[in-house]
Amino acid sequence: MKKTLLCALASALLFAGCSKNEIISPDPTLTQQALAVMKTDSLGGAAAALAVQGIAQIDASTVQQTIKGFGGANIVAWTGDLTSTQRNTAFSPTNGIGLSIVRVRVPNSSSEFAAEKATIDACKSFGGSAIASAWSAPASMKTNGSIVGGKIKTASYANYAAHLSAFNTAVGGLAAISPTNEPDYKVNYESMELTAPEVADFVAAQGSNCGAPIMAPEPFQMNQTYINTYLSNATAKSKTSFVCGHIYGKTPYNLGNIGKPVWMTEHYTNSNISGDDWSNAMTAAKEIHDCMNSGWSAYVWWYIRRSYGPISESGNIQKIGYIMAHYARYVRPGYTKISCTSNPSTGVYVTAYKSGTKLVLVIVNQNPSTTFQNFSYSGITVSGFNRYFTTSATNLSSNNFAVSGGSFGINLAASSVTTLVSY
């Protein structure tokens, strides 16, 4: 028995050493301990043995949420518009980040509507869509006569719905519109302060007249009590297409069976840290994983172009952008998330998606050293994968490898994000 195991190990080591793609198809007869001996840190160039832990099991026959996309905000009045080159950088899935959602602000004045259209059109040209949030109704439609704070006058509900609808028409059609951004968060800038029943009252009365499907109620911390109270208005719920919210100070979580797709429509991790900071980018990677694993269908960063964003002020892709590209480029609108072991090994996080016969895996490795990870897949036929990985030192490096038999193993670079796309 010992001789047989040593021969198997020798054969496996020879295969591992010859594979420039660092892929190992494990022999199911070998023990986990034997596998741990035979893996070497070829990605990092070290000879230390790698730990082998649990198997990431993918079941393509178990379909979960449909993905709307991954995106960011472009608020022309506050930061200026993206340039033509920056739009390509943001939205192209071929040579850019591949963002498939642009979030815009509904201006208070119709004279500002047209300014949002160019970037909306650019996102759509790459297969994406636009969503819009209103920070405030026009001052004349509010109880305090100001764009800061206050509420929508009940008598102005119809006029406000017409205002939202006119914006939808002016920009050529939105995937969804939110009548109020963060209504549960008191601030000293453009805003409205609305309880969940007040948001629901407006949607119940005028949700069908806003020009685009309603996404609501968009609370500051994806507050479930606020959301459930809003949805308790049956008429408002029937007129709401998507439940949305932000996750400032909140860990993503499953909202339960609320009967609507859930979108995370705004967050950034730290405005005081550059978007090129690798530790911060890895925090964002895990956050996106958590949103998808919570059953949510969209993840939208705050400003697309910002010092702390996916694109720098000079228009270059930053580490945050490359991390988002691992999802946005390869998990396109309409893909479905499928069943997958989300945390198969210490520090390793996996989500899986499919579109027809294509399988996509996004893997976050938080460990400070190369980690070997086993995978198994069922419900789909795969002959190989194109592999893309980003570390602190490299961006979307690529190679490919063949698989068979429903399982494979791969060395994950230390502190990295890897996307596998089947062929």
Please report the pLDDT score of residue 39 as a whole number: 40
CB 375 within 8 A of CB 333: no
pLDDT band at 240 (very low <50, low <70, confident <90, very high): very high
Domain boundaries, the chain: 15-63+337-422, 68-333
pLDDT digits (tens, 9 = 90+) for 278-316: 999 999 999 999 999 999 999 999 999 999 999 999 999
Does the pLDDT of residue 53 top 70, yes or no?
A: no
Question: Which has the higher per-residue pLDDT, 18 or 341?
Answer: 341
Does the pLDDT of residue 3 top 90, yes or no?
A: no
Please report the pLDDT score of residue 6 as a whole number: 33
pLDDT digits (tens, 9 = 90+) for 98-135: 999 999 999 999 999 999 999 999 999 999 999 999 99
pLDDT digits (tens, 9 = 90+) for 9-22: 333 333 333 333 35
φ, ψ at 119 (rounded to 5°): -75, -35
Question: For the structural domain made of 15-63+337-422, what CATH number should be given?
Answer: 2.60.40.1180
Active site amino acids: 182, 266
Please report the pLDDT score of residue 110 as a whole number: 96
Does the pLDDT of residue 24 top 80, yes or no?
A: no
Q: Span 157-163, mean pLDDT?
A: 98
Q: Among 131, 220, 142, which Cα is nearest to 178's?
A: 131
Does the pLDDT of residue 31 top 50, yes or no?
A: no
Does the pLDDT of residue 35 top 70, yes or no?
A: no
Cα distance between residue 319 and residue 69, in whole Å: 19
Please report the pLDDT score of residue 73 as a whole number: 98
* CATH class of the domain whose range is 68-333: alpha beta
Please report the pLDDT score of residue 36 as a whole number: 41
Does the pLDDT of residue 267 top 90, yes or no?
A: yes
Structure tokens at 334: 């309409």
The mean of the pLDDT values for the chain is 90
- pLDDT > 90 fraction of the chain, expressed in percent and rounded: 87
pLDDT digits (tens, 9 = 90+) for 388-422: 999 999 999 999 999 999 999 999 999 999 999 99
